[in-house]
Structure 1
Amino acid sequence: MKRQKSSHDPVFHDLSFADRYARKHMKMAENFGKEYSAKLEKKGFKNGRILDTGCGFGGTLIYLARNIPEAEFYGIDLSDPLLDIAILRVRKAGLSDRVDFQKEDVHRIPFDDNYFNVVLNINMVHLVDDPVTMLNEMERVLVPDGSLFIADIRRSWIGYLDREFKSALTLSEAKKIIGTSNLRKGSASSSLLWWRYENG
């Protein structure tokens, strides 16, 4: 299946669209939070800083914050409507003292080098204008012994059923982008719906 350009433009200015988007993807985001929480626990991670690049409505980060009470959490995104949803949700969860959402560009992450212990990136590689620059920025802000988790939808025959998958990358396309970037060595894998890249 030939890749088609994605358009998530309404999510940047239409609150009702952003709300529908958040409701549709909430379970997915929380499932990633559950998965990454278990992986970090297995690594012995208890405190430090976690960044979600392209955090959207904050579903994954809020789940992690509930389960890792000693860590600090940061989420960046360019969508005002999604960030409004994220901020409201984090206030309702009583986690505003440990979870900070900011309107920032993933191509220019506004933090110092080696600032984060964990960097997440979910459903973003196929959406951004310059994925290599984004990945390089993620590498820059991650400490040398930090944990990196990337996941994105994988283009396959499912695109005939769900339009969103038509704009996704295949695993080989994703590997090519990653290979062009400065990302540290990791392992790539894929399932029916997703491709992933993680270190350690």
Structure 2
Amino acid sequence: MMIAEYRKMWEARNWMKRNEPFLPTWHAYVGYRLDLFEKLSGGMSIEQVVSEYGYEENLLRSWADTGVVLGHLKQNGDQLVPSKQMMRFFTQKSEDAIGELLKEMFEMHMPALMNYPDMIETNRKGHFNGDDFGKTVAATSALIEKRAFPHVLNEMQFRHPRWVLDIGCGTGGYIMKLARKMNRGTYVGVDISKEVIDIARAKAVQWGLEQKVKFFYADINEWNVPESLFDIVMMNNLLHYYAPDTRGDLFDRVAELLSEKGSIVVTTPLYLEKGGQRFSAAFNSFMEAHKNLYPLPKREELVRDAETAGLKLKSMKTVVKEGSWYCMSFSKK
């Protein structure tokens, strides 16, 4: 009996210890969400922050105490100052900010996963409202695309395209970065979110690229554009927004838009691909929790759909192995 109780306590302890890595992530999320690291950047006391922003003092103090324990904050007397790491990666104005990734996890993924018991029992899935999270999804996609950028740029430099299309372009940073790197060509982004297209157009003007880069608010399946126009078509973080039985139609549509010697570059997570099975399983669980989202694609499924559309797989490069993200290149047969 004592051995059984001891094993029970040991097992409980192990499960609790597994949650320790959650604490720094939670702390960084709260700091980014309220931009607390930026507000503390010049050094402030708890009392000063409460007085200036009207926050609840005990909650703020608990968050600050946790930050000091974790090393996210440094305390000098009653003054709190963020670490360089938190200033760089978790202030909203930083070019290196990754806080949107944590927003996606805490505000999109975790609530859906916590609802699994009810959804399983009631046979009712949730509905994902893309307008609520368009900016966050675009920002987290940009982090993945940054890792894939060297692979895509190599394809660009090899092809010397005249016309480039980015389907699901988000806020446009990715295609504008490519446009800056290349001396020639016209670059086009299309997205079904008006919010992100408006942001992309504003960015193009700000960066002086409005003549070279064009953005359209449209559904790719209904968009009126000439066939065989584009030398490179990109689809980044997109395929899991299409039902498995419609991905073949998407490849057919893209093949219509592709020039004779053009390439399709797909950056996507692959379900249960070796090396990233845990992440892809968790991500797929989120997708399956919504009636208007769809399972992650498998490699063999994409190759099959591409071949049916008259395309063949040329290469497959790892983007984030532990996340099961890959960059796949297809061309016409």
Smaller-chain TM-score range?
0.7 to 0.9
Aligned letter for 1:171? R
Query: Could you state the TM-score of these two structures normalised by the residue count of structure 1?
Result: 0.80
- RMSD over aligned Cα, in angstroms? 2.6
The alpha carbon displacement at 1:60 in A equals 2.0
C-alpha distance in 1 between matches for 2:265 and 2:126: 24
Measure, in 2, the Cα distance between the counterparts of 1:199 and 1:178.
8
**Which of 180, 183, 196 in structure 2 is aligned with 1:82?**
196
Unpaired runs of 5+ residues, structure 1, are: 1-5
Equivalent position SS for 2:241: coil
Alpha-carbon displacement from aligned partner over 1:64-98 (angstroms, at most 9, x marks no partner)? 11111321011111111221222222222211111
Q: Residue in 2 aligned with 1:3?
A: none
1:160 shift after superposition? 4.5
User: Would you say 1:150 and 2:278 are equivalent positions?
Assistant: no
* Aligned counterpart, 2:248: 132
Offset from partner CA, 1:142-193 (integer Å, 9 cap, x none):
110112212211122213544557631121222233233x142233536431
Match of 1:170 among 281, 290, 298: 298
Match of 1:92 among 197, 202, 206: 206
Q: TM-score, normalised by structure 2?
A: 0.51
In structure 1, the partner of 2:330 is 199
Gaps of 5+ in 2: 1-124, 273-277, 289-294
**8 A Cα contact 1:104 1:110, kept in partner:** no
Q: 1:7 to 1:56 in 2, by over 3 A?
A: farther
Q: Please give the alpha-carbon distance, in whole angstroms, between the structure 2 residues aligned to 1:68 and 1:8.
A: 40
**Residue 30 (structure 1) aligns with:** 146
TM superposition shift of 1:196: 4.1
Equivalent residue in structure 2 for 1:113, among 198, 211, 227: 227
Question: Residue type of the partner of 1:173?
Answer: E
**Whose radius of gyration is greater, 1 or 2?**
2
Quote the Cα distance in structure 1 between the aligned partners of 2:135 and 2:326.
26
Whether the aligned pair in 2 keeps the contact of 1:171 and 1:190 (CA below 8 Å) is no
Q: Which residue of 1 is the match for residue 185 of structure 2?
A: 71
Percent identity reads 19
Corresponding residue for residue 313 of structure 2: 186
Q: Say which structure, 1 or 2, has more relative contact order (CA 8 Å, 6+ apart).
A: 1
Verify the 8 A CA contact 2:306 2:312 in the aligned structure 1: no
